[in-house]
Structure 1
């Protein structure tokens, strides 16, 4: 048995381990290579920068001492497979150049979000064979796609402009009013926002259009384009 000489004196670099790892995950891991791979991944992921962090297989193989300590690349692949089967690590494959590349995420809230973003195709190739994971789209973009239709570049620009001009809560509420009235077009939402800004949000903005005189619910620049 090779003995450990002890930790060096003075302040040494450290990394964080979730308390849940000790209380819940550690008792479940019954394979030493899986344990080593899991701990190495937790350390290595914290050496990365950015909101959405991931590891590649080469991040494990690049550490010769670690690789020798677990028994080589075959053992590494077995350890990664076990950690993924347990869902301590999450993984997905992307096409980079001529060959696919597998990305590994820690199963945290950010890791799950990153995995979903990659699976949705929200990533471009980056430098040195890496990928850039795009941030999760704001709530109004998802709300539009869920209830109004496809997010075209023109609509995306309108949403961006709306974010600059109005509070997010206003936009979400106006979209929900449009959904409730089955007026599923952005002009209707824009009309509500314009009226709130012009007349004050406290007015009765969700009243039905006056059918007696043919006046539309929304007045102003977009009134002639509203679809009922």
Structure 2
């Protein structure tokens, strides 16, 4: 995944945010001298924040398959991820736990894995709990990442989900490529297909909403073109409200 070298247009209002402890900037950041450690450390806060459920941890396999992280480390050498993780663990920003789930369970989740935790109270508690009892650990491990396949570009997505390209639409797609992150297009087209709204107008509405409120705003089954329900009043003031 290569990121285009274009000027960032700025953060939109209401953009989602990731919490990073102030202590990271005062006690850890001044001591980091390898950019790989900095990238891995910062991205670990972001990736951990996106996790759901408890205990929360990251595996080496999923980090190595993360397109955004791989792109961020791209110019820092082939061993950048390993180097960054080792340095973050040695510094104490991250905690590492090597686990071997019950091999009798079989399958890829039963293989030995490296787990990484933020060195926070919750992370330390999770490490202690797993070290004390690894029974059933394979149920907590994420499935192995799917092999990387080339992602369709915006023009292919349009032809696959909407219809034939026209010169006018092609120009609009080029403008959209410059205006929105590349990773938004596939889920936006997918949502439009699921809603049976296979039109570029609908997809643009999704992208604009994500730009304003963050890409996690869309919920499954929501129709963004459907107007919201208007509040209603009953009783003595009902006649004052016109719908």
* TM-score, normalised with respect to structure 2: 0.49
2:125 aligns with one of 113, 121, 137: 113
Any idea what the Cα deviations from partners look like across 1:103-150, whole Å, max 9, x if unmatched?
10000111111111111124413448449xxxxxxxxxxxxxxxxxxx
Counterpart pick for 1:74 among 55, 71, 79: 79
C-alpha separation in 2, matches of 1:4 and 1:36: 20
1:94 aligns with 2:99: yes
* Counterpart position of 2:46: 43
**Runs of 4 or more above 6 Å deviation:** none
For 1:18, which of 21, 35, 38 is the aligned residue?
A: 21
Are the structure 2 counterparts of residues 88 and 7 from structure 1 closer, same or farther at C-alpha, using a change threshold of 3 Å? same
Residues 120, 77 of structure 1: CA spacing in aligned structure 2 closer, same or farther, 3 A cutoff? same
- Structure 2 vs 1, CA of residues 129 and 21 (structure 1 numbering), >3 Å: closer, same or farther? closer
Decide whether aligned partners of structure 1 residues 81 and 120 sit closer, same or farther in structure 2, where only a CA change above 3 A counts.
Answer: same
State the distance in 2 between where 1:83 and 1:73 align: 17
Q: Encode CA deviations 1:186-214: one digit per residue, 9 max, x unaligned.
A: xxxxxxxxxxxxxxxxxxxxxxxxxxxxx
Q: Which blocks of at least 5 consecutive residues in structure 2 are unaligned?
A: 144-243
- 2:124 is paired with a residue of what secondary structure? helix
Q: State the superposition RMSD in angstroms.
A: 2.4
Query: Once the 2 structures are TM-superposed, how far is the Cα of residue 93 of structure 1 from its aligned partner?
Result: 1.1
Determine if contact 2:20/2:45 at 8 Å carries over to the other structure: yes
Alignment of structure 1 residues 1-228 onto 2, 5 Å: 2-71=5-74, 74-96=79-101, 97=106, 99-127=111-139, 129-130=141-142
Q: Distance in 2 between matches of 1:112 and 1:94?
A: 15
- CA deviation vs aligned residue, 1:166-197 (integer Å, no higher than 9, x gap): xxxxxxxxxxxxxxxxxxxxxxxxxxxxxxxx
- TM-score, normalization by structure 1: 0.52
For structure 1, the residue ranges without an aligned partner over 5 or more in a row are: 132-228
Contact 2:36 2:73 in 1 (8 A): yes
Task: Give 1 or 2 for the bigger CA radius of gyration.
Answer: 1
Distance, in Å, in 2 between the alignment partners of 1:8 and 1:95 is 42
CA offset at residue 17 of structure 1?
0.9
* Alpha-carbon separation, structure 2, partners of 1:85 and 1:119: 19
CA distance in 1, matches of 2:115, 2:80: 18
How many positions carry a matched residue from both structures? 131
Structure 2 residue matching 1:5: 3-state secondary structure: coil
Shift in Å, 1:2: 2.9
